[in-house]
Amino acid sequence: MKPWAEAFYNSEAWHHCRASYLRKVGGLCELCMKQGKVEPAEIVHHKIVLNENNVTDPSVTLNFEHLQALCRKHHAEVHTRKRDRRYIVDEMGHVTALD
Ligand SMILES: [Zn+2]
Ligand SMILES: [Zn+2]
């Protein structure tokens, strides 16, 4: 992971935001829920891919409007569907833009 991404994912602000978002959605995968399935969310996905420029903008990084709670399967799906090789998904399920 890039140092700026690591700094963000390790930040107290993100941990707090992630935890309250998960509480809000009941800790379940939002896409599974749409299919009527109950699956715990493992990842809080940023619908806007983070980069070095927007990572310091809380209206992007800590905004519930731009977050989605997903299970590992759906998270991988969301990213591979785009077939966008500019992004990498690490072993923690975090996505970062390559430069
Ligand atoms: Zn799911
Ligand atoms: Zn994601």
- Distance (Å, whole) CA 52 – CA 5: 8
pLDDT of residue 76: 85
Q: Which phi-psi region, left, alpha or beta, contains residue 83 (left: φ > 0; alpha: ψ -120 to 50)?
A: left
Higher pLDDT, residue 11 or 87: 11
- Mean pLDDT for 56-78 is 94
pLDDT at 15 over 80: yes
pTM of the model: 0.82
pLDDT of residue 34: 96
Q: Which ligand is closest to the CA of 28, given by its number?
A: 1
- How many Å lie between the centroid of ligand 2 and the Cα of residue 49? 7
Q: Where are the beta strands (DSSP E) in 1-99?
A: 43-46, 67-70, 87-89, 95-97
Query: Residue 43 forms beta bridges with which residues?
Result: 70
